[in-house]
Every structure is written in structure tokens, then in C-alpha cells.
Chain A
Amino acid sequence: MNRIALSMALTAAGFGAMVLTASCLGDTANATVTTACVPFDPLDSDDAFVSVSEVLERRCATLDCHGAIARPLRLYGNAGLRRPEPDLGTENCVANEECGGAGSGRVCKQGIGCIDAAITDYAQYYPGGAIGTTPSERRDNWAAICGIEPELFTVVYCCSAGEGACNGFDYAASCAEPEDYDPERLTLVRKARLREKHKGGLIWNEGDDGDVCLTSWIVGAYNQPGVEPQACIQELQKL
């Protein structure tokens, strides 16, 4: 039997698909598992995850909790920790192509380095500053959320979103039990409901706006045409 994985590299591969590579000790076992997460386009300001992220930024990502640099599930945003900018080693950039090029949402700011194009005033890029949460910060939040339990997230999302949502996913074998559709399988959901030990305590109860916001997104409900993240909007109005 192989020993536990020593290291895992998680990389976002396109919008919505993630690739998990596990390196194991003992007998050679280099496995590649393709996982899926709710599709998200960081450059689309109308994407439902913008609202989901904002709820989590306000409720979870304060600087003394998931906005702390050392904490697992690190979340960025205007209300808390800012994503480190510029990219390390890019201080001498001269052209946007060096920063990912068109479509990356990142530009070369001469004298500073590669930064998110939304940072129009670098001096205002701090918690509570005039620069709102950037697409790069949302993309990292999305990756952090999907990456907590990527295999479980894949099962809950793909089963709930239905056939066609995840190419190559074995629906017949993976979606046989009711729990395969249950977002409470995810530690992210359980901790917020305090069904699992959580230092931050109870964030919301099952069925509260914040809970509905998060779980609806997880099961792909906000990716249906014409569906607005109403629960997220209601939760944000309370803050």
C-alpha cells in the first residue's frame, strides 16, 4: 500500500477545472486526478462568485482570522489581507506581455512590477483602501475554497450540477448516494455552521442567507441562466 502523499501541487487549469497531482513515497505512484470546481471567470464582474467571495471576505477574512497570512484557507480582499502585489521578481518589467499578456488581467506598472490591472492607485492598495477586491484576489479566493477538499468538492459540485457540468466525470459511479449531493460533506460548510470544531465559532446556521449563498454556489445553482445570487446580496445588506 502506498504511503500518504507527501506533497500535493494544486494548479488551476482553465476556468473551473483543477488538476491535482499527488507524489507518493514507496512504490512509484504518480497519479494525476482531474478535479472540478464551480466555473469562475475572474475578469467577469457579473460572475456570481464575486458576491460569494464578498460574503466570505466580510464574514471570514478579517485580518485576525482567514485574512491572516499564516492561516489555512487564506482569503484576500478589500476588507482584510491584500494579495501580495507586485509579483515577486517582476520589479523591472517593461511590458504587459511579461505579466501574462492580454486576458490575464495583469499589467506591468513600471517601477513597481506586475500587478492586477484593477490597482489604479498602488498607494490605496491596503485593507480598507480605495482599491476594491481585485480579480486576482478573487481568483486566489476561488482556488483556496475549491482546494480545501478538491475531490469532495468535485463530487458535490458535479453531482449536484448534473450531467454535462463536468466532462469526464463518472456520474454513475460517483453520484449514487444522497450524500454525494450534500454540501455539508465539505468542511468549509460544516465549520461555518459549527458542525465541526471552528475557532471562529458559529458564522451562520443552515438556511441563513450566508449559508444559502455559499451552498447554492457550491452546487452550481448560480450558474443557471437568470439565477441571481440573491441570498448573497441579502447577506451583504446585513453587514
Chain B
Amino acid sequence: MAASCMLLASCANPVPDAYIEDLGEEVPGVPQSDIHRPGQPCLLCHGPYKGVEPEMTVAGTIYGYPFDLGVKGGDPIPVEGVIIELSDSFGNSPPEPPKTNCAGNFYLTKEQWNPAFPLRVAVRYPVPGDEDGERVSMGTRISRDGSCAGCHTGRPTQGSPGWVYCTQKTADAPVFTPPETCTPSEGD
């Protein structure tokens, strides 16, 4: 009996538990769906540890521009329609590359793609007048964490490059604007 209790107790991992608690409650009015919790590390819950359905292998949020110290809150403008191009260490890619929704979120379930890390990744963001859009590659590989926000959070610090963004906010950059409305995709 005592051994069983110890076995059960050992299933909890205080480190991810603390991270999950730090994420806080859901935003009121946003249903638990493919548009909830943008910018947060999805796999903390939707990964092997918590196993919340759907279980994901790669997931994240793409914003238009980098964190801007001059704007309150950093100007997080999610971008819809960004295509995420991925390949794993065997050269395999998802059958269909995922696309971001109106919250800037994208994800791949374990059933859709179960890659062998490390991964290469690039994003192709929409540019008016250019049907191919603009492709930007990540400078390093993803070694093991399928959550973009496991490393890419908020403003740049000595431990994070900041959130994932499409382009610097230059004069010739596409103008991204926040969506007026955002509803969950069908089936979510």
C-alpha cells in the first residue's frame, strides 16, 4: 500500500506544475479552443505530461512585429494565414503544413505529425500582392521543445529572443492589424 502511494505521488512533476500554475486562468469570454491562450507554451498541457486532448507535438503563436518597448504591452498583433514549414531530423515534414488562425495560433497533433527532433522551421507570412508571401527561417534548430513559447516569450531577455514575429516594423514591412473578431475554427 505504502509503495503504491509513493508510486502515485511520484507521477507529479512540480516543475511543469509550477509553470502551468503561472499561466493563470483562461481569459473570460475566450472558449477553450484553438484560439485560447495565445503566446503560451501549448505543450505544457497539450503534451505528454498532462496529455490534454488534443495532444500536440508542435504548437505556437506568430505575431507580426517584435516586442516594441515604445508600445504599451509590446504591440502583440497576431497574424492569420502564416504557413509553418517544418522538417525533422529524418527530413520528414507534416503532410499539410499548419497555418495560423485569427489568434496567431497553430498546432499539429501527435496523429498529424510525430517528428524526430531536432526540427528545422521557417515561417511564410502573407504579403499583400505577393501570393508566395515572405519566408523567414529560424536561425537555430528546435532541439526538443515543441512549444514555441517554451523559448520565445514576451520581450527579449537574456534567456529569450522574445515572441515569434514575422518582420521588423520597417517602413516597407506589411501592415498587420489585430483582427476585429476572432472565433474558434470549426471542430474546435
Contacts and interface: CB of A to CB of B under 8 A. Distances in A.
Interface of A: 58, 62-65, 69, 79-85, 125-129, 199-202
B164 to A, nearest CB: 11
Contact of A201 (B116, B145, B158): B116
A58 B140 contact: yes
A127 B156 contact: yes
A200 B119 CA distance: 11
Contacts of A63: 150-151, 159-161
Contacts of B151: 62-64, 127
* Size bracket, chain B contacts: 20 to 34
For the residues of A in contact with B, the DSSP-based class is: loop
Contact of B139 (A65, A84, A128, A199): A128
B140 A62 contact: yes
B142 A126 contact: no
B13 interface: no
A223 B166 CA distance: 43
Contact of A126 (B117, B139, B145, B161): B161
Contacts of B143: 62, 64-65, 200
Given A62-B140, A79-B140, A128-B139, A200 B159 contact: no
A126 B153 CA distance: 12
A44 B106 CA distance: 45
Nearest to B150: A64
Contacts of B142: 62, 64
A202 B186 CA distance: 40
Nearest to B158: A82
B81 to A, nearest CB: 24
B141 interface: yes
A83 B159 CA distance: 9
Given A62-B140, A64-B142, A201-B89, A82 B118 contact: no
A64 B158 contact: no
Contacts of A199: 144
A82 B151 CA distance: 13
A200 B162 contact: no
